[in-house]
Amino acid sequence: MLLNVNKLSVKYRARKFVEALKGVSFNVEEGEILGIVGESGSGKSTLAYSILNLLPQETEIRGEIFFEGKNIFSLSPKELKILRGKTIAMIPQEPSASFNPVLSIGYQFQEFLREAGIKDKDKISYIIKDSFKRVMLEPGERIINSYPHQLSGGQIQRVMIAMAISVKPKLLIADEPTSSLDVTIESQIVNLILQLRKELDLSIIFITHNLGLIKVLADRVVVLYRGEVKEVNSKDYLFTSPKDDYTKLLLSVYHEMDS
Amino acid sequence: MELLRTENIKKYFKIKKRTVKALDGVDISIYEKLTTGLVGESGCGKTTLAKAILGFYSIDSGKIYFKGEEINLRNKEKFIRRNIQIVFQNPYLSFDPRYTMFSTLYETLNVWEGVSKDKAIKIIEERLEEVELDKDTLYHYPHQLSGGQLQRFSLLRALINKPRLVVLDEPTSNLDISTTFTILKLLNSLQRSYSLSYLFISHNLNIVKKVSSYVFVMYGGKIVEAGLTERVYNNPMHPYTKLLISAASYKLKDVRYWGEEVGGCVFRNYCCQKRKVCYNEPSKLQVEQGHWVYCHLIQYMIK
Amino acid sequence: MLKKLLKDKLAFLSLFILVTLYLIAIFADFVSPYHYDDEDIMYSWAPPMRIHFFDSSQKRIGPYIYKYQFEVNKYYQRRYYENKKEIYPLRFFVRGFKYKLLGLWESNIHLFGVEGSRIYIFGGDLKGRDIFSRLVYGARISLSIGLIGVTISFIIGMIVGGVSGYFGGRVDNILMRLVEMMMMVPSFYLMLALRASFPPEMSSTQVYLLIVVILSLIGWASIARVIRGMAISLRENEFILSAKAIGLSNVKIILRHILPHTFSYALVAIFLSVPSYIIGEAALSLLGLGIQEPQPSWGNMFSSAQTIVDIQLYPWILIPGFFILLVTICFNILGDTLRDILDPKRRIL
């Protein structure tokens, strides 16, 4: 068991208390893709941020998240830095918003690797080229020297994935990584993730609202609704014999729309 | 019956000395009381086409006919505003955040003829039921409502002055699946009760397949394939349409790029079957009854 | 918004000072013990009077002043001293010259004064007029010029900017070139040039109106530019396109859907630019081109502090300058605080 989320509750302190997560528990096993399905307001992004311990100061957190047996809420700042930079990587929804627009892609990639503790220049350039090849980007100078606005949405997302896998993380959190992309690119990214998982033996948490994606990608599925886990099930059982009423509703809509 | 027809519409944008051909000779037809789908990816010109039909842009060349009569901004602006309406992709941005839903709708009702406030309330409340909204939502501000509620208000605003054609520019792509589903149902029932025509623009093939009777596939500012939805989906002819359909079920793994060359078929640089003929502009070819494609390769395939 | 503003101590203080000053300006006749034109040559360059509370026997008799008398020294300068035998108690709500409060009610009650002598709490000027009274009357002109000027510039600036940004194309081109022409000339020279095109001898009301117009003509250009930028970014917004689609007229779209979204910017900019109008008037008056004597304004009062000798001998003539500074600082603090409240990330303003 790689990750264990145990009765996690998160409250935001806005004008009123907003309870984003209400006692969420699930596990992530090594080498599996766990799909988390939820519509807007289900707390799925909050979940992603709490795994990285990146929630804002004023939030009230109860429950624990164990990563390889260690509670991430009681880590020292140094350990946290390693956790965020090396052991768990994240692919955000808006790839272009994650890059600094005035610095070149190559510079930001190098910076990222230096922060992760790799100082050797030759090693850095080897890692960049290697991870570019893995995500099927041309490893030459063209993309390395370009700026974020010069790349297409698909290319930027590939760079983002290349960065995420370059430090050989154990867990990859993908928070709706394809929802701002076109269908043809989405399909390519999805297949890329599947291929990388095979090559690198990654565990992946794939957060989405799209059941179609879950059907192709996930091994097991967590269904979130308004901060509560409605169902945890293997994918095949989820699509054939869902247990929860909300899952049934989602599936009926999905079948209605997809056939 | 054909309601609206565009003929060879061109719209070029000049960005830093480079010309971007947003629309490069687009012919589409929208049929009365039916939904016409327009599928394409971002940057293919589908939103530009919508805006051209609504007269937000002047077009560089080409003509738009509404029931056989030419419409353009100079002589028919009022006519366009009365008969063609639009619903946008992002419901949160479609309403001025400073006004309540009632003031926005009241403003809309008042555009053509003066309506007293009491009468407006009566009219609006009656029509709220059609779009399945509660009366108390009327006095809310946009940020107090959900995406689904706002999109219903968008529809209500578009329909309140009884247009003939509604352009739906990705009306569901910012919504959750279950909301999408109810909005699509609502669109369907409104179409029947007001005998509306829709132009449904989307990048989501599954939804277009579900709602439309005719479909136009667009790529690089041009129509590449058109016809009855069933025939296009069951028997796609253009390599780009095939690519889209395989991508929709996540089967597409990699698209190869063949280098930048201009002229001829727009899809040539990505087409894995390209030949010498592709350097010429493809013309419209009929594949079967109610199914057209703009591709040279079709001749080889039919043989 | 007001609540947040009042939470900030500095902003609250600034607002308090400004409100007080504007109230004083409105009720100038009541607050000032003398009319701005009331001369008494016996008090020429009289220094500010001390208000005493205890007499020499330490028996409390409340606030009072001693009568000023002077002797002439060897340089033929007056040296004022307090005549300890002549005591005049400071009275509140005393009778003085007649005036019409707010132009409606006739009255002769004044906030404070002394009976039988004269009180000069900020000292006297060359002609022996009370600087405090003149300052209070001057506030009417100096403070109102800022507000009226800013209002006119904003009306022009918002309309030009809104139209230019919303329509774009040729309209935008023409209007923006005009704006650039206005901004190209350094504003001080533009101000002088505009003033020079009118005769120097005009009645004080005419001069007042002229200065307001001149200052607004200089101020609108930069506002128009910012509003235009905001209008351009709003123009492509879905809610503007929706308004267009339903057939709303361009005028209504600009007035109802574009300009209201620029109000929060405008509010901040108004606060930040009021001081420049006050200083503009001061600058014109300093050169003798502004409000003419005997009508007081802070600018022309301050213009008497032009030689170092005068400042050394009669330092109290710097008091109008201090008030100009105070008002400028208060408006800036309010503007800055408002900006932080409305736009914490400093995206537009």
CATH number for C341: 1.10.3720.10
Q: Cβ of B157 and C246 within 8 Å?
A: yes
R_g of chain A, CA atoms, integer Å: 19
Query: Would residue C77 count as lying in a domain?
Result: yes
Is the predicted pLDDT of residue C349 greater than 60, yes or no?
no
Question: B214 by DSSP, 3-state: which?
Answer: strand
Question: In this structure, are C228 and C153 located in the same domain?
Answer: yes
State the first-to-last Cα distance of chain B, in angstroms, to the nearest integer.
33
Q: Answer yes or no: do A253 and B203 touch at CB < 8 A.
A: no
Q: Does C260 touch chain B (CB under 8 A)?
A: yes
Same domain, C104 and C160: no
pLDDT at B255 over 80: no
Nearest residue to B196 (alpha-carbon basis) of B162, B151, B148:
B162
Q: Order of strands, edge to edge, in the sheet holding A70-71? A: A17-28, A3-13, A60-67, A70-71
Residue with token string 């390693």:
A82
Q: Give the distance from residue C242's alpha carbon to the nearest chain B alpha carbon, in angstroms.
A: 7
Quote the CA–CA distance of A246 and C103 in Å, as a whole number: 73
pLDDT interval class at B183 (50, 70, 90): very high
pLDDT of residue B261: 64
Q: What is the pLDDT of residue C20?
A: 93
Q: Would you say residue C251 lies in a domain?
A: yes
Q: Structural domain of residue C220, as residue ranges?
A: 134-346
In which band, very low, low, confident or very high, does the pLDDT at B260 lie, cut at 50, 70 and 90?
low
Residues C259 and C310 in one domain: yes
Q: Look at residues C119, C151, C173 and tell me which one is the last residue of a structural domain.
A: C119
Q: Are residues C107 and C241 in the same domain?
A: no
Which of A43-52, C52-61, C85-94 reaches the highest mean pLDDT?
A43-52
A209-218, B95-104, C52-61: segment of lowest average pLDDT: C52-61
For B22-48, the pLDDT digits (tens) are 898 899 999 999 999 999 888 888 889
> DSSP of C210-277, one letter per residue?
HHHHHHHHHHHHHHHHHHHHHHHHHHTSHHHHHHHHTT--HHHIIIIIIGGGGHHHHHHHHHHHHHHH
B248 touches chain A (CB under 8 A): yes
Residue C95 confidence (pLDDT): 84
* Together in a domain, C164 and C94: no
Report chain C residues whose CB lies below 8 A from the CB of B97: 239
CA dihedral B263, B265, B266, B269 (to 10 degrees): -90
Instruction: Report the alpha-carbon angle B194-A252-B90, nearest 5.
Output: 55
> How far is it, in rounded angstroms, from Cα C118 to Cα C97?
13
- b/e sequence C283-319, b meaning 16+ C-beta within 10 Å: bbbbeebbbbebbbbbbbbbbbbeeeeeeeebebbeb
Q: Judge: B251–A187 Cβ closer than 8 Å, yes or no.
A: yes
Q: Which residue has the tokens 């990750």?
A: A3
Question: Are both C173 and C62 inside the same structural domain?
Answer: no
Amino acid C59: pLDDT: 66
Looking at per-residue confidence, does C161 or A258 come out higher?
A: C161
Q: Is residue C81 in some structural domain?
A: yes
Which has the minimum average pLDDT: A174-188, B130-144, B145-159, B264-278? B264-278
CB atoms within 10 A of CB A254: 20
Distance from C-alpha of C342 to C-alpha of C267, rounded to nearest angstrom: 10
Min Cα separation B220/chain C (Å): 22
Q: Which residues on B lie below 8 Å from C257 (Cβ)?
A: 96
Confidence check: pLDDT of C344 > 70: no
Closest CA to B290 of B31, B10, B3, B6: B31
Q: Does B303 score more than 80 pLDDT?
A: no
CB contact under 8 A, C244 and B56: yes
Closest residue of chain C to B103, computed from CA coordinates = C256
d(CA B130, CA B196): 14
Check A39 against B147: CB less than 8 A apart: no
Contact yes or no for A158/A136 (Cβ under 8 A): yes
ipTM score: 0.88
C190 in contact with chain B, both atoms CB, cutoff 8 A? no
Dist. CA B202–CA B172, nearest whole Å: 9
Amino acid at position C104, single letter: L
Residues C112 and C139 in one domain: no
Total domains present in chain C: 2
Q: What is the DSSP letter of C99?
A: E
Contact B88 C247 (CB under 8 A): no
| Cβ contact B88–C241 (<8 Å) | yes
If one compares B104 and C40, the residue with the highest pLDDT of the two is: B104
Range of the domain at A190: 3-258
Q: Which two tokens stand for residue C150?
A: 């800013």
Contact C245 B54 (CB under 8 A): yes
Q: What is the pLDDT of residues A19-40, one digit of tens each?
A: 888 989 999 998 899 999 988 8
B54 interfaces chain C, CB cutoff of 8 Å: yes
Q: Are B228 and B217 in contact (CB under 8 A)?
A: no
A144 Cβ contact list (under 8 Å, min separation 6): A104, A105, A106, A109, A128, A132
Q: Which of B82, B97, B154 sits opposite C247 (nearest CB)?
A: B82
Asked if C75 and C166 sit in the same domain, the reply is no
Judging by beta carbons within 10 Å of its beta carbon (0-12, 13-18, 19+), is residue A85 exposed, middle or buried?
middle
* Confidence label for C172 from pLDDT (cuts 50, 70 and 90): very high
Output the pLDDT for position C173. Answer: 92
User: b vs e for A122-141, b when ≥16 Cβ sit within 10 Å of the residue's Cβ?
Assistant: eebbebbeebbebbebebee
Q: What does the radius of gyration of chain B's CA atoms come to, in whole angstroms?
A: 21
pLDDT-derived band at C19, boundaries 50, 70, 90 = very high
Residue from the list B176, B204, B247 with its beta carbon closest to the beta carbon of A184 = B247
pLDDT confidence of C141, banded at 50, 70, 90? confident
Q: What is the pLDDT of residues C181-228, one digit of tens each?
A: 888 888 778 778 877 777 777 777 787 788 888 888 888 888 899 899
Q: Is residue C139 domain-shared with residue C198, that is, in the same domain? A: yes
CB C130 within 8 A of CB C38: yes
Q: Which tokens sit at B85?
A: 């309406």
Q: B-chain residues within 8 Å CB-CB of A216?
A: 250
- Domain termination site, one of C119, C143, C165: C119
For residues C155 and C287, state if they share a domain. Answer: yes
Dist. CA B90–CA A222, nearest whole Å:
28
Higher pLDDT, B262 or B115: B115
What is the side-by-side order of every strand in the sheet holding B35-39?
A: B84-87, B165-169, B197-202, B35-39, B214-219, B222-228, B291-293, B285-288
In a shared domain, residues C162 and C209? yes
Report the pLDDT value the prediction gives residue B187, as an integer from 0 to 100.
93
B18: left (phi over 0), alpha (psi -120 to 50) or beta: beta
Pick the residue of C235, C236, C239 with the most B CBs within 10 A to test the interface with B by mutation. Answer: C239
Structure pTM?
Answer: 0.81
**pLDDT (mean) for A72-80:** 88
Asked if the structure places residue C31 within a domain, the reply is no
State the pLDDT confidence band at B258, using cuts at 50, 70 and 90. Answer: low
Beta-carbon contacts of C167 under 8 Å, excluding residues fewer than 6 positions away, are C250
Give the residue from B13, B92, B96 with the most C CB atoms within 10 Å of its CB, the best one to mutate. B96
Contacts of residue A99, defined as CB under 8 A and 6 or more positions apart, other chains included, come to A105, A108, A148, A156, A159
Peptide bond into C294 cis (omega under 30): yes
Lowest mean pLDDT among A130-134, B82-86, B231-235: A130-134
How many folded domains does chain A comprise?
1
Share the mean pLDDT of chain C: 84
- The answer, yes or no, to whether residue C347 has pLDDT greater than 70, is no
* Sequence-ordered alpha helix ranges (H) in chain A: 44-51, 77-82, 105-115, 121-134, 141-144, 153-166, 183-200, 211-217, 235-240, 245-258
| Sign of the Cα pseudo-torsion (A43, A45, A48, A50, in order) | negative
How high is the mean pLDDT of chain B? Answer: 87
C-alpha A70/C-alpha A66 separation (Å) is: 5
pLDDT at B39: 93
Q: Which of B56, B82, B98 sits opposite C260 (nearest CB)?
A: B98
Count how many pairs of residues, chain B against chain C, have C-beta atoms within 8 Å. Answer: 53
Size of interface A-B (CB pairs under 8 A): 68
Which residues have CB under 8 Å from C320's CB, separation 6+?
C131, C135, C138, C298, C299, C301, C302, C305
Closest partner CB to B181 (pick from A186, A191, A253)? A253
C255 contacts chain B (CB < 8 A): no
Task: Output DSSP code: residue A84.
Answer: I
B176 reaches A (C-beta below 8 A):
yes
In a domain, C7, yes or no: no
Interface with B, mutate which of A15, A134, A158, A187 (most B CBs under 10 A): A187
Token pair listed for A32: 């599996």
Q: What is the CATH number of the domain that holds A14?
A: 3.40.50.300
Q: pLDDT per residue over B123-181, tens digit each?
A: 899 889 888 888 888 999 998 888 889 999 999 999 998 899 999 999 988 888 888 88
Q: Is the pLDDT of residue C4 over 70?
A: yes
Q: Which residue of A has its CA nearest to B147?
A: A40
Average pLDDT, integer, range C62-68:
80
Residue A47 identity: L
Helix, strand, coil percentages (3-state) for chain C, rounded to 5, are 60, 15, 25
At C320, the pLDDT band (50, 70, 90 cuts) reads confident
Give CA–CA dist C75/C137, Å, rounded. Answer: 34
- Res C14 pLDDT > 70: yes
Residue C301 predicted with pLDDT over 90: no
**Mutate: best of C167, C242, C252, C264, partner B, most B CBs <10 A:** C242
* C113 and C166 within one domain: no
